[in-house]
């Protein structure tokens, strides 16, 4: 359906019953409504499903307005401190009025600040009413601040939108080391729908962040929405600029993001019908892994993102294997063993605390 929406004209009740839970789980109900409207297909969709998709889109509009408000609040606080801010991912698409802004929901707002300013930014926000969104012990604090590319998430005490403050697009200990200074150099200033000025990544960096986020940072669960984002953004930028494809390849080489770009491109082609030139596909294919790994990854990704039915054992297996892979590419082996051991030990302690031994 994502590749050829016209197929829905031939769907029966069973097809629609399979479609609805999958689209809901993938957070694509709003996108599907927009897609059906673009292709004049709403008359082919059962009325009850149209109502559900409209409801999802209405809820998305509300969340988007909350996200823009939160973005404005954060930017005002940090601007008073002279700390630059860059919007990332969903809130960046929204601020820049890019195609996903018509339908994309947000669970939080992701922002980038320079690494030299992240501690000062955190303190400024906490003085203005933002608090840690959860309980983080000393290990969690060290994990975020020494190993990851962000601080623990924050939430304002009077509002519920989570703020994730990053200083890079990938962890400093991962196999991909991105020079964040180059992200700032290529960033663009835009006016969001409320007229507020904010910086967003350049077009190529926006696509590369999508790819790194999906295929490096354990975000493949429910990641079909982000694959659709990749497809929509890629085709939008390619239509605007004939030099976009070679520029994206050059930027991937510059930032060391060739492998995530390969996975994002190949997945978007298989699952969403991404339209890219043969030359681009040949060049990005140079970043592909060995054939056995390539085939295994394709199978795992499709089992997780596009299962034949929800709850299948293949999906559970793919989820666990891709979860382990995400940690493997983000941490050196010694650090990974230490981290997984700590998590397993803490999980056991929490289970014992919740479920005391029964009397003999």
Tell me if 118 is assigned to some domain. Answer: yes
Lowest mean pLDDT of 33-37, 154-158, 301-305, 350-354, name the range.
Answer: 350-354
Given a contact cutoff of 8 angstroms between Cβ atoms, the answer to whether 173 and 335 are in contact is: yes
Tell me if 304 is assigned to some domain. Answer: yes
Of 201, 228, 256, the residue at which a domain comes to its end is 201
The number of C-alpha atoms within 13 Å of 342 and in the hemisphere containing its C-beta is 12
Looking at residues 203-215, what average pLDDT do you find?
94
Tell me if 79 is assigned to some domain. Answer: yes
Tell me if 103 is assigned to some domain. Answer: yes
State whether 131 and 213 are in the same domain.
no
Average pLDDT, the chain: 88
Tell me if 282 is assigned to some domain. Answer: yes
Tell me if 319 is assigned to some domain. Answer: yes
Q: What three-state secondary structure class fits 155?
A: strand
State whether 149 and 228 are in the same domain.
no
State whether 96 and 193 are in the same domain.
yes
Of 201, 232, 262, the residue at which a domain comes to its end is 201
Q: Which domain holds residue 150?
A: 68-201
State whether 88 and 220 are in the same domain.
no
pLDDT tens-digit series, residues 115-127: 999 999 999 999 9
Q: What is the pLDDT of residue 349?
A: 52
Tell me if 218 is assigned to some domain. Answer: yes
Tell me if 357 is assigned to some domain. Answer: no
Q: What is the pLDDT of residue 140?
A: 75
State whether 283 and 297 are in the same domain.
yes
Q: What is the pLDDT of residue 342?
A: 63
State whether 183 and 302 are in the same domain.
no
Dihedral sign computed on CA atoms, order 69, 74, 80, 84: negative
Q: What is the pLDDT of residue 39?
A: 93
The CATH code of the domain that includes 141 is: 3.30.460.40
Given a contact cutoff of 8 angstroms between Cβ atoms, the answer to whether 156 and 143 are in contact is: no
| Number of structural domains in the chain | 2
Q: What is the pLDDT of residue 346?
A: 63
State whether 151 and 266 are in the same domain.
no
Given a contact cutoff of 8 angstroms between Cβ atoms, the answer to whether 114 and 84 are in contact is: yes
Of 235, 232, 230, 237, which Cα lies nearest the Cα of 215?
Answer: 230
State whether 206 and 228 are in the same domain.
yes
The DSSP secondary structure of 254-271, one letter per residue, reads HHT-HHHHHHHHHHHHHH
* pLDDT confidence tier of residue 359, bands split at 50, 70 and 90: very low
Of 147, 179, 201, the residue at which a domain comes to its end is 201
* pLDDT confidence tier of residue 324, bands split at 50, 70 and 90: confident
User: Which alpha helices (H) appear in the chain, and where do they start and end?
Assistant: 13-25, 29-38, 47-80, 89-95, 118-127, 138-142, 180-186, 203-216, 224-240, 244-255, 258-272, 278-284, 291-305, 313-330, 333-354
pTM for this entry: 0.89
Of 248, 260, 258, which Cα lies nearest the Cα of 202?
Answer: 248
State whether 168 and 284 are in the same domain.
no
Q: What is the pLDDT of residue 339?
A: 64
């Amino acid at each position: 359906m994502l590749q050829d929406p016209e197929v829905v004209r031939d769907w029966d009740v069973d097809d629609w019953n399979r479609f609805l839970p999958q689209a809901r789980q993938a957070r694509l109900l709003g996108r599907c409504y927009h897609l059906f409207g673009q292709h004049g297909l709403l008359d082919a969709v059962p009325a009850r499903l149209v109502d559900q998709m409209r409801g999802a889109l209405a809820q998305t509009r509300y969340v988007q307005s909350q996200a823009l408000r939160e973005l404005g609040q954060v930017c005002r606080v940090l601007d008073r401190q002279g700390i630059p801010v860059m919007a990332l991912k969903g809130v960046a698409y929204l601020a820049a009025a890019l195609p996903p802004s018509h339908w994309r929901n947000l669970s939080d707002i992701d922002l980038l600040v320079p690494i030299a300013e992240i501690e000062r930014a955190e303190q400024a926000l906490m003085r203005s009413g933002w608090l840690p969104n959860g309980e983080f012990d000393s290990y969690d604090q060290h994990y975020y601040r020494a190993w990851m590319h962000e601080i623990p998430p924050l939430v304002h005490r009077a509002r519920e939108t989570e703020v994730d403050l990053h200083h890079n697009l990938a962890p400093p200990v991962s196999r991909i080391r991105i020079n964040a200074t180059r992200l700032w150099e290529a960033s663009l200033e835009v006016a969001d729908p409320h007229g507020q000025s904010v910086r967003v990544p350049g077009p190529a960096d926006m696509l590369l962040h999508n790819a790194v986020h999906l295929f490096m940072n354990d975000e493949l669960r429910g990641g079909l929405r982000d694959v659709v984002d990749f497809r929509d953004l890629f085709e939008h930028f390619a239509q605007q600029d004939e030099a976009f494809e070679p520029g994206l390849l050059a930027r991937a080489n510059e930032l060391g993001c060739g492998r995530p770009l390969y996975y994002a491109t190949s997945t978007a082609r298989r699952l969403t019908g991404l339209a890219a030139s043969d030359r681009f596909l040949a060049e990005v294919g140079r970043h592909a892994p060995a054939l056995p790994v390539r085939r295994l990854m394709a199978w795992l990704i499709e089992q997780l993102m596009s299962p034949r039915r929800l709850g299948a054992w293949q999906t559970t297996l793919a989820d666990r294997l891709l979860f382990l892979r995400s940690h493997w590419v983000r941490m050196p082996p010694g650090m990974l063993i230490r981290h997984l051991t700590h998590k397993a030990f803490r999980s056991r302690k929490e289970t014992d605390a919740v479920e005391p031994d029964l009397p003999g």
